[in-house]
Amino acid sequence: TGMKMQRSLQLVQRLQAELAALKQQSQKYIYAALNTCEVRINSLALPDAPSEKHLRFLLGQLGGVEVVLDFELMVGLLICSTGDADIHKMNPVLSTEEIAHIKTLTVGTILQVNRLGHILRGEVLAKDLFGILQRMSSCAPETGPPQPEGINFVELTRRNMKQEVALQANTLAAELMTQRHYVNRTDLSYDPRFLCFEFINNLVLRKQQCELVQRF
């Protein structure tokens, strides 16, 4: 009916608005976190009693000899068994606590980037669903005599659209309900290789994919 159609359109519009707000929130966090992460990983804040190693690194950074660390390198070091030691070699100024904090910030940024990609996919699906509903609402029921050969083309079109709406709505719902299946719900532990794989490929691994990898 017209009322049901109108309510469906309003629900999808509300979902689109909520997704847009979440997208803006994630974008704001990512921008700030990327900047903070790269500033901290290249910190030149020397301890109160700097050693020769610290001073040598400081002069190397200022002279462009020492490497400038970036976010992509931090992502790679998350899955490296000697990641902490490698970071300390590249920036000996950083303490163990600072390295741990930077790694936590890197993980948080990755999660937000993955979330943003998921939101964008949801927006596309919601937009497609809204378009189908609009076309369906403008397809008026047949009021004239039957079409040749007894076929009511308008009704047939509406029936096909109903199936299309159901399929698109189910796809959108499944996308919105996606979970990370490699995170332990008890202690929130996880294998960072799964997280980095999702980040690099802009996807969320399905439960069957995680189980298949963990089996081997």
The single residue listed with the structure tokens 């202690």 is: 187
Give the angle subtended at the CA of 49 by the CAs of 43 and 53, to the nearest 5°.
60
Q: What is residue 56's predicted lDDT score, i.e. its pLDDT?
A: 81
**pLDDT of the residue at 89:** 86
**8-state DSSP, 150:** G
Give residue 143's pLDDT.
46
Q: What is the pLDDT of residue 100?
A: 93
pLDDT at residue 152, as a whole number: 55
Looking at residue 42, its pLDDT comes to 83
Tell me how far apart the terminal alpha carbons of the chain are, to the nearest angstrom.
53
Residue 107 confidence (pLDDT): 95
pLDDT per residue of the chain (216 residues) written in tens, 0 to 9: 678 889 999 999 999 999 999 999 999 999 999 999 988 888 877 667 777 777 887 788 778 787 788 899 999 999 998 999 999 888 888 889 999 999 999 999 999 999 999 999 999 999 999 999 998 887 655 444 555 555 555 566 777 888 898 999 999 999 999 988 899 888 989 999 999 999 999 999 998 998 888 887
* pLDDT given at position 13: 96
